[in-house]
Structure 1
Amino acid sequence: MHITIKTPQRSFITDPGNWQGESEYFHKLFSGKWSDKEEDGSYFIGSDAYIFEHILQYLQSGVLPVFYDKKTGHNFPLYQAVLAESRYFAIDRLEKWLCERRYLDAVKINYQATETQDRGTYQKHTTTGADGRTFMVEDQLIDITTSSNMDVTMVPVTQQTNVFYCPDGKHGRSNEEYCRSCIDRARVSVNGGWRNEDQLKWCIVRKEVVVDHDLCVNF
């Protein structure tokens, strides 16, 4: 049987027979013992409509609330406002959830950090310069896959690494195996061989927010 609950701001239509949560206040209100029914058959309560909407949502679903946003975190003023109303309406389970701050346990934040050196794939190709010399070029391809619930941040990291340059100056940045013939010719330039260089890498930080729905249902 549907009934109408009025607040100063708006009205709500609901069927208490389908409520999953329990409230001693509404049990007595709907029993007719208080004679609080309006002439049109509705019930008036003095709660703020925005806060009561969360109360009614809990009563209808039985799922305990989590007011969390990835950017701003938990909405503690809203928790306090709903807690005050849960006490007024004698909703024991909801009051216990909010008093013990169990909503903090319902939200988990997972962090994963990786470097492009570990996750990147490398591709080599050759190119010809203006002077006709051929250089070997190494490109790093970064493949990032993430879910819609995950934030990704890329942080630049500089690290010292050994880099091999063609001794003959023919291939530029290369490796010993590729330049074996250049080494055998022993036409070593002052800029060839191994060097220590700063290498730019990317630290990929993934942040994922996970809500424990089972806790919200089975608490």
Structure 2
Amino acid sequence: MPTFPHSRITLQVGERRFTTYRRTLIDKSAYFAARIGLEKWKDDRDEVDVNADGSYFIDADPVVFEHILNYLRSGDYPIFFNVDTGKFDYVKYMSLLSQARYFEIHDLSEWIEQRGYLRAVPLRER
């Protein structure tokens, strides 16, 4: 069966399912480009398992993966900032960085490593 870049693909990440276009995953992620861009995924059962329904299982945190997928879809960097406290959620950024590195999303990894989020939210002294 040929691979079409604009075909839909379903991922089961932990206990959640995500459906997106194949192109969305492969454009900014070297991991997904290597796995589904070349149709190698079905032969790579050590890391990923193809479910009976054709979805691809990924053993990752679905809450964090939601932010990964949002970034792949839009290119918008996530802002984890609490307006009430005036603080960033550094734990979320470290979790996201770990998954961005795993999925080889270099732009997102670099943005977090360089603390780009600090420049995204103007802070005022209280």
The TM-score normalised by the length of structure 2 is 0.80
How far apart are the structure 2 equivalents of 1:13 and 1:94?
A: 21
1:27 lines up with 2:33 in the alignment: yes
Match of 2:80 in 1: 67
How far apart are the structure 2 equivalents of 1:84 and 1:71?
A: 27
Matched letter for residue 34 of structure 1: W
Matched letter for residue 89 of structure 1: F
1:87-126 pair list within 5 angstroms: 87-110=101-124
* Alpha-carbon RMSD: 1.9
Deviation at residue 109 of structure 1 after TM alignment: 2.5
How far apart are the structure 1 equivalents of 2:12 and 2:29?
A: 17
Match of 1:46 in 2: 59
* Structure 1 residue matching 2:84: 3-state secondary structure: coil
1:56 lines up with 2:63 in the alignment: no
Deviation at residue 20 of structure 1 after TM alignment: 9.1
Matched letter for residue 35 of structure 2: L
Q: Is the 8 A contact 1:68 1:74 kept in 2?
A: yes
Deviation at residue 2 of structure 1 after TM alignment: 1.2
How far apart are the structure 2 equivalents of 1:67 and 1:79?
A: 8
Q: Is the 8 A contact 2:8 2:21 kept in 1?
A: yes
Q: Is the 8 A contact 1:21 1:61 kept in 2?
A: no
Deviation at residue 110 of structure 1 after TM alignment: 4.2
Matched letter for residue 11 of structure 1: R
Match of 2:99 in 1: 85
4+ residue runs of structure 1 moved beyond 2 angstroms?
Answer: 16-21, 36-39
Q: Is the 8 A contact 1:23 1:91 kept in 2?
A: yes
Matched letter for residue 11 of structure 2: I
Distance 1:64 1:70, change over 3 A: same
Question: 1:102-136 CA distances to partner (integer Å, 9 max, x unpaired)?
Answer: 1101110246xxxxxxxxxxxxxxxxxxxxxxxxx
More strand by share: 1
Gaps of 5+ in 1: 112-206, 208-219
More helix by share: 2
Q: Is the 8 A contact 2:82 2:88 kept in 1?
A: yes
Q: Is the 8 A contact 1:20 1:62 kept in 2?
A: no
How far apart are the structure 2 equivalents of 1:13 and 1:60?
A: 11
How far apart are the structure 1 equivalents of 2:59 and 2:8?
A: 20
* Structure 2 residue matching 1:108: 3-state secondary structure: coil
* Structure 2 residue matching 1:109: 3-state secondary structure: coil
Match of 2:12 in 1: 6
Aligned-residue identity in percent: 38
